[in-house]
Structure 1
């Protein structure tokens, strides 16, 4: 039986991390249990809570003018709901045996222990920062938190030069490239892959490549950064690869993120092959009755491949927080897994994907057929109809949908949600062709592009059946 560690006989919930998962968990637990039953203490090492990290590129690019627009709930609002939120306080150790955490005040350095009955780990992810010469030069930025975004904006407004290099061409890389273009910078993207957007197959990534170059972005693919040159003032001045050098007044790292699980690892908590915490369906850390974890620091089950994945998305983090809060507060909820849906854009190009890429399907041991079709967002004769490309993967013999990728202009990106629902339901491409989707010329051709791809895939699967 757990001894009460809170005041007035109440249990104490300690939350590590004050963004989407952590504060959603705290808020949901508070809805279910009042301060007399559950004391909640939340630690956040930054200056902000409950903000949209996904919105940072649009703030940096001046499409969102005010940083506060990205904040869903302020520290004061959390405190008014009976949550003891401690900003600028970093948890440095989890003592699982003793049921306590050690925290350090970032500004004063003072340290103290706080006991818990229940613990939520929501430490998020950190930008990958390769160990390269010059990586710590002034003007080199990773972008994951609002504090990171503010630091980058300060650099952009304080530098005279207008040359920017983005290292990496995943979601953050392409979104930051657009933000920098909007800020009037000359942008070069250095990418180690064959094409940008490694979350797509290379043939679809090539469409993104062409569009980015059409927007004035210089794309350098198949290039590994070897060094960052800095001037005598300590500021970055160029990014070097094995055979070229690209002048830079600011560098943004868009190489991706890793789960921030150093604390959890040191405490002996179970991690998966991608470095994220492993949980059960209730988001409880495996093997630990009173510890939960959610958000970018955990691995999730891919419902299509059956494998664990690390996917850093605000949609998952908020759902995890709701589920954890329900369970901590005495209710019951589960998180069954994901199908890997994501959308992005660079200028007016919309990029979407769900399910498996070709290499994911091969890794999972699946045999499949692929089809790629060209269509339009609206009836071809309707004004402003724009082209889009849809690629679909279906399992050989069964016809089960495995994945969809879409690249196009307005109206392309959110069509991926049709495929996300079909994947979650385990539909075949044949079943998809009968979906009763909304139609009118301003919204779609008579055959929606996703259904055109499904029909073509169904034909290919049936011809290939034994």
Structure 2
């Protein structure tokens, strides 16, 4: 069965994926071109579209009451704006030469081909599932979509006990550990790294480790899960490592995600070393004039190292969609790249980073110095001033800022934005020391912690 051809419409845009990048692209293209100029068809295999995946841990943890609060725009709202959004419909094949996609209705199994003039691939990412016995057992959950969040909550509601094991200690892992603590579970985090949060250097990850244990979370580092054991009914009962067995009524996979590019790979589209689609600055897939890609399925330019990297973040996905929709709509926009800024929390501990870690700088062939300082979120004499640790990397001789990591309590995390702006501007740490930041005792010491770190880094550069 074939879908109707564009007919009287001058062109048709087909979007694969109904979340941040895909629907941002569709919405922006619609703002620029009306239905008489551009027909827009979008396919989404799940039950939800245009939602905040970043909010799922807070829904699971109870801070958000339901999935409706995480939805930015419903399918009905998209359709009212002239976007033909087809839910529970999965694209199974891209025919680049024929400029068409094959889609299957998830409920009925019916298939059809839809031709396109422009194609947007916004297939997102998939949770990494370790290749081991029991990885697909009942009670083992990845958390990437609202459907995943619903499935996890259903398991928590049926669980016979209150023991949870989180596999992995990256952003997803620590956020899900918090969510499960908030649900009253005994939480064990099994992590193959030396310290949690591999996005930080180990010395900063150690601070996170200590804080998580202080919150009652059992941390098991430097080991891998080799098996998930199940009971007679096939439900998870324990997680096994080479040295121990940890009882579990639910297991959450927080190992990370990979770009979901199986469709793109089968279609022969170019992929990078991390498995993500490669695009130009306009978010056009390299070598394909009318195929675009954005969101968690693409690799992006790191402005600090000059290399391609893979970062799955909703902030980037929405920007990619805006760029794609602008270009498809006949205007012009580019996505310049990223500096790798991210912020998270586990209970009252805030964790932030931007730019390069030490191993990233080594990999890029950069010589650098480091500076680590301890300070407080407010003037030391002001009530509720909380401690924070700031680590800064700067290039030797030039003093160019390379990266910043921050671990602390309330008021620590968003300070990373100062460093993100400085990185984007290519500032040196010496230049940063003169930044005119806002000051009052309730908000910071007279020397903001980021500037204290910059002063120490600037001295290290001079001494080197």
Bucket of the pairwise TM-score, normalised by the shorter protein: over 0.9
Q: For residues 365 and 56 of structure 1, what CA distance do their matches in structure 2 show?
A: 38
**Aligned counterpart, 1:44:** 44
Give the equivalent residue in structure 2 for 1:192.
192
**Is this contact kept in 2: 1:355–1:402, CA < 8 A?**
yes
* Residue 61 (structure 2) aligns with: 61
Name 1:360's counterpart in structure 2.
360
CA distance in 1, matches of 2:388, 2:155: 37
Moved over 4 A (4+): none
SS at match of 1:234: coil
Is contact 2:9-2:39 (8 Å) kept?
Answer: no
Q: Which residue of 1 aligns with 2:243?
A: 243
Secondary structure at 2:8 match in 1: helix
* Aligned-residue offset at 1:198: 0.2
2:435 maps to 1:440: no
| Matching residue of 1:129 | 129
Per-residue CA deviations over 1:397-449 (Å, capped at 9, x if unaligned) read 00000000000000000000000000000000000000000000000000000
Check if 1:84 corresponds to 2:74. no
Deviations 1:162-208 (A, max 9, x none): 00000000000000000000001000000000000000000000000
Q: Does 1:390 align with 2:390?
A: yes
Contact kept, 8 Å, 1:5 with 1:11, in 2: the verdict is: no
Task: Please state whether the residue corresponding to 2:104 is helix, strand or coil.
Answer: strand
The residue aligned with 2:26 is: 26
SS of the residue 2:375 aligns to: strand
Could you tell me whether the CA contact under 8 Å between 2:17 and 2:123 is conserved in 1? yes
Partner-residue secondary structure (3-state), 2:296: helix
Residues of 2 paired with 1:326 and 1:5: CA distance?
A: 24
Q: Deviations over 1:91-123 (max 9, x none)?
A: 000000000000011111111100000000000
The corresponding residue for 2:400 is 400
Greater Cα offset, 11-20 or 155-164: 155-164
| Pairing 1:253–2:253 present | yes
1:313 alignment partner in structure 2: 313
Gaps of 5+ in 2: none
Q: CA deviation at 1:88?
A: 0.4
2:293 counterpart of 1:290: no
In structure 1, the residue matched to 2:115 is 115
CA contact (8 A) 1:43 1:91 kept: yes
Equivalence for 1:419: 419
Conserved? CA contact 2:13–2:41, under 8 Å? yes
**What is the Cα deviation at residue 9 of structure 1?**
2.9
Contact residue 168 and residue 253 of structure 1 kept, 8 A = yes
CA separation in 1, counterparts of 2:310 and 2:50?
A: 21
Answer yes or no: is the 8 Å Cα contact 1:10–1:35 preserved in 2: no
Q: Does the residue aligned with 1:209 lie in a helix, a strand or coil?
A: helix
1:409 is matched with: 409
Partner of 1:328: 328
| Alignment of 1:151 onto 2:151 | yes
Q: Deviations over 1:284-323 (max 9, x none)?
A: 0000000000000000000000010000000000000000
- Over the aligned positions, Cα root-mean-square deviation in angstroms equals 0.7
2:376 and 2:94 mapped to 1: Cα distance?
54
Please state how far the C-alpha of 1:249 moved relative to its aligned partner. Answer: 0.3
CA contact (8 A) 1:349 1:407 kept: yes
Secondary structure at the aligned position of 1:239 is classed as: strand
Matches within 5 A, 1:271-282: 271-282=271-282
CA drift of 1:5 comes to 4.1
The answer to whether the Cα contact below 8 Å between 1:5 and 1:117 also exists between their aligned partners in 2 is no
- Give 3-state SS (helix, strand or coil) of 2:173's partner: helix
Partner of 1:163: 163
Is 1:345 the equivalent of 2:345?
A: yes
Q: How many residues align?
A: 461
Q: Secondary structure at the match of 2:120?
A: strand
Q: Matched residue of 2:226: which SS?
A: strand
Please give the secondary structure, in 2, of the residue aligned with 1:8: coil
Counterparts of 2:31 and 2:6, CA distance in 1: 18
- Give the match for residue 12 of structure 2: 12
**CA–CA distance in 2 between the matches of 1:178 and 1:198?**
18
1:79 and 1:73 map into 2 onto residues whose CA distance is 10
1:328-379 superposed Cα distances (whole Å, 9 cap, x missing partner):
0001000000000000000000000000000000000000000100000000
Secondary structure in 2 aligned to 1:7?
coil
Q: Which residue number in structure 2 is paired with residue 95 of structure 1?
A: 95
Q: Deviations over 1:255-295 (max 9, x none)?
A: 00000000000000000000000000000000000000000
**CA offsets 1:216-240 (integer angstroms, 9 cap, x no match):** 0000000110000001101000000
Counterpart check, 1:74 vs 2:79: no
Deviations 1:62-114 (A, max 9, x none): 01112100000000000000000000000000000000000011111111100
